[in-house]
Amino acid sequence: MTPGPQDSLKKQTRNILAFIAVVLFLFILKACADFILPIVIAFFIFVLVSPLLSRLDRMRIPRLISLVLVMVLVLVVFVLFVYVFFMMVNMLIQPDGIPAYAAKVQSFDRYISAMIAPYLDEDPGSFSILRFLNIDWYGLIMASLTSISGKFISILSDALLVYVYLLFIIMERQTVFPKLLEAFPRGKAQRAGQMVSRMNRQMSKYLAIKLVISVATGILFYFASMISGLDFALVWGVLAVILNFIPTIGSIVCTAGTIIMAIIQFSPDWGYIIYISLLMISIEMVLGNIIDPRLQGVQLNISPFVILVSLAVWGYIWGIAGMFLSVPLISIIQIISANIPTLKPVAIMLSEGRDYRRRFEKSRRRKRKQAAEEHDDVEMPEVQD
């Protein structure tokens, strides 16, 4: 039975209302970021420590002791990270930090400007790329670093709020599945429980491996900077840990930063600059393209283009925090869509598509083979003399 005009109109209306609902939902997430974002961050920290909690439960350790151990561990990691981060910021704003590099940047600007000026019909003695671009790089960097230092109390209060949310989420983790069984019919509750378990396993694996790879990248960047004599080794180590959580763009920004730093510090010794560049690029390539996929096993089945779009969307909604959470969030959306029949096309469009492509190619080869066999079976008519 073909759908009538009334059914088609209902379908179009439903699609329009769904699109409006999604836009409105994203607007609410952006407008209420101060309230929602700490809860989301606390949820992902819970997902990260969930395997440890499960291990403690299997060891029959009392839940109260497990709770205390995990919360102390999270607190120690946070305090250590904040200490290292603000020590890095304080090191940069000292007189021997960014201010000392102002003269080196100006010297490099004169060197490059003198090389480029003839091609732009400019006077090599007066032409300056920095003046031409009209960017106060020194003022921007110092203002940003000073702003971070001044927001210590605000950052601490937000972290405390996340910590409290995490505490209550861990306390209620044992009641989620029983509440699902009580709130929904048995079949739907089982399906919802399986979906939640799948999300928890997939996100736990992704976040744990990403954390290990990020820390390993930071350590290697730190020691590579120390060995090569690149200044601010601690800065590059910390930035490598942080930015590695941002897909694709983070590793590019961190590697490009070390290369730019090498150019400013060691120019015109281009041989040594190339050596440092190859060293940093090799670290990212080995960890990001070889070790990370091997540890992940089955990768998150998400299209690279979708990841970039998700990075832009969540970055617009929640800023830097949204960029860090973009991949886990889009993965959760994909899992939910795959378990709801009406949203299954969304899950398919978000996927990488390799399995569907192989299936499509296999089907096309089979059809070609069948067409060739049917053509061979056709008997040619006899020609009458």
From the list 368, 247, 370, 352, the residue with the least C-alpha distance to 308 is 247
From the list 339, 315, 241, 326, the residue with the least C-alpha distance to 284 is 241
Percent residues over pLDDT 90 in the chain:
6
CA dist., res. 176 & res. 61, Å (int): 20
- pLDDT at position 89 is 74
Whether residue 33 contacts residue 317, with contact meaning beta carbons closer than 8 Å, is answered with: yes
The string of pLDDT tens digits covering residues 239-258 is: 888 888 887 788 888 898 89
Mean pLDDT of 297-306: 68
Residue ending a domain, among 122, 152, 171, is 171
pLDDT band of 292, cuts 50, 70, 90: confident
* Residue 125: strand, helix, or coil: coil
Which residue type is seen at 340? I
* DSSP structural state of residue 381: P
Q: Which two tokens stand for residue 362?
A: 């296999």
- 214 assigned to some structural domain: yes
122 in the same domain as 63: yes
* Residue 69: strand, helix, or coil: helix
160 in the same domain as 234: no
- pLDDT at position 76 is 92
* Residue 155: strand, helix, or coil: helix
Q: How many CB atoms lie within 10 A of CB 54?
A: 14
Which residue type is seen at 265? Q
From the list 348, 324, 323, the residue with the least C-alpha distance to 334 is 348
**Nearest 5°: phi and psi at 340?**
-115, 115
* DSSP structural state of residue 120: G
Residue ending a domain, among 171, 189, 224, is 171
CA torsion sign for 249, 253, 255, 259 is positive
CA 68 to chain centroid, in Å, comes to: 30
Whether residue 327 contacts residue 310, with contact meaning beta carbons closer than 8 Å, is answered with: yes
Domain of residue 149: give its range. Answer: 36-171
Give me the DSSP letters along 188-223: HHHHHHHHHHHHHHHHHHHHHHHHHHHHHHHHHHHH
**Residue 189: pLDDT over 70:** no
- pLDDT at position 180 is 63
The string of pLDDT tens digits covering residues 107-127 is: 776 777 777 767 666 666 666
- 324 assigned to some structural domain: no
Looking at every residue in the chain, the average pLDDT score rounds to: 78
Q: Of the ranges 2-11, 150-159, 270-279, 361-370, which one carries the lowest mean pLDDT score?
A: 2-11
- pLDDT at position 54 is 83
- As a whole number of Å, the end-to-end CA separation of the chain is 54
153 in the same domain as 61: yes
- pLDDT at position 336 is 78
Domain count within the chain: 2
217 in the same domain as 160: no
Mean pLDDT of 160-174: 87
212 in the same domain as 153: no
- pLDDT at position 11 is 74
pLDDT, greater one: 177 or 346: 346
* DSSP structural state of residue 226: H
162 in the same domain as 83: yes
163 in the same domain as 40: yes
- 193 assigned to some structural domain: no
154 in the same domain as 62: yes
pLDDT band of 3, cuts 50, 70, 90: low
* Residue 297: strand, helix, or coil: coil
CA dist., res. 75 & res. 156, Å (int): 12
Residue found under tokens 């209306």 = 13
Q: Which two tokens stand for residue 104?
A: 């080196």
CA dist., res. 309 & res. 330, Å (int): 10
Whether residue 213 contacts residue 288, with contact meaning beta carbons closer than 8 Å, is answered with: yes
pLDDT band of 72, cuts 50, 70, 90: very high
From the list 200, 211, 198, the residue with the least C-alpha distance to 173 is 200
- pLDDT at position 342 is 78
